Amino acid sequence: MSKINNAISNGQIQRHFYKYKPLNEYAEEMLTTGLVYFNKAEEFNDPYELQIEDSGIYTKNDVINYFKNNSAEKMSDAAAIHLADDVCKQHPNIGEFLKKILEQTKKHSREKAGILCLAKSFENILMWAHYADSHRGFALEVDISVLEDRFFPLKVRYEKNIPHMEYLKDPNEFFINWALTKSTHWEYEEEYRMIIRDCSKQRKFLFPKQSFSKVYWGLNVDLKKRDEIIAKMKENGFPTEFYQEKLNQQSYQVIFEKI
């Protein structure tokens, strides 16, 4: 059993997630081909995102342990001590030196990483307003049970402050802290993320057609364009179900009927 399906079976994650989109040429390409775009860091709308700071106060022993535990090949104690001696001589303030290393790591990650942002629900009225072009777009339901494990969705954490970590002591935690922490202002999104660490050569990934299980069209969608896309998806073999939002005159809850 795949990691994704094992997590679904154990109740760790849900089977379906949702991508809210405006209805434009990029969205049409995604729906009719299955090519899903993973965003670059600079395309995010919040400049406070993808930040992390180093709060460590390090000793020479920390540097030695870092070289021993994180070198490509296992390093002997003597070799690690020798290398740490050289580094500490060149950089007496090891804390400031490590902060520079962290900045380089952040820059590298921002240039290479690809992130697909997904929501937990298709019924989030704020998401319809903010990410689906004021209900003129759609929400795509993605069935993750048919995806490769590299597309495992990870839950975003919402914090009041930018995350801090001791990078030298636990560099493996950097990427998760960096990519999965947002301000509490965004909690309403209930966001999950699929993260590809190196998208420098490829930013679009072909998802199986059966992963596009449903499309929920917004109340104000262009009906002619909607029907053109539905026809093209059926022609291209997508087994997708389609639903149209109706105006709810009883409560502030989005409602849909099957097309």
pTM of the model: 0.84
Query: Looking at residue 235, what is its pLDDT?
Result: 98
Given pLDDT bands bounded at 50, 70 and 90, which one contains residue 182?
very high
The answer to whether 65 and 140 have CB atoms below 8 angstroms apart is no
CA separation, residue 57 to residues 26, 62, 94, 152, 232 (Å): 46, 9, 8, 34, 58
Mean pLDDT of the chain: 89
Query: Looking at residue 23, what is its pLDDT?
Result: 96
| Main-chain phi, psi angles of 109, to 5 degrees | -65, -40
Give percent of the chain above pLDDT 70: 96
Q: Kindly state the tokens that stand for 22.
A: 């405006």
pLDDT, tens digit, 9 for 90 and up, residues 13-24 = 999 999 999 999
For helices 77-90 and 94-112, the axis angle rounded to 10 degrees is 100
Given pLDDT bands bounded at 50, 70 and 90, which one contains residue 55?
confident
Structure-model confidence comparison of residues 193 and 104, the more confident one: 193
pLDDT, tens digit, 9 for 90 and up, residues 245-256 = 999 999 999 999
Distance between CA 47 and CA 42 in Å, rounded? 8
pLDDT, tens digit, 9 for 90 and up, residues 131-164 = 999 999 999 999 999 999 999 999 999 999 988 8
The answer to whether 215 and 139 have CB atoms below 8 angstroms apart is yes
Query: Looking at residue 220, what is its pLDDT?
Result: 98
Query: Looking at residue 127, what is its pLDDT?
Result: 97
Give percent of the chain above pLDDT 90: 61
Which of 186, 188, 182, 200 is closest to 51 using CA atoms? 182
pLDDT > 90? residue 61: no
Structure-model confidence comparison of residues 125 and 64, the more confident one: 125
Given pLDDT bands bounded at 50, 70 and 90, which one contains residue 117?
very high
pLDDT > 70? residue 71: no
| Main-chain phi, psi angles of 108, to 5 degrees | -60, -45
Query: Looking at residue 39, what is its pLDDT?
Result: 92
Q: What is the DSSP letter of 167?
A: T
Which of 141, 145, 148 is closest to 120 using CA atoms? 141
Query: Looking at residue 56, what is its pLDDT?
Result: 67
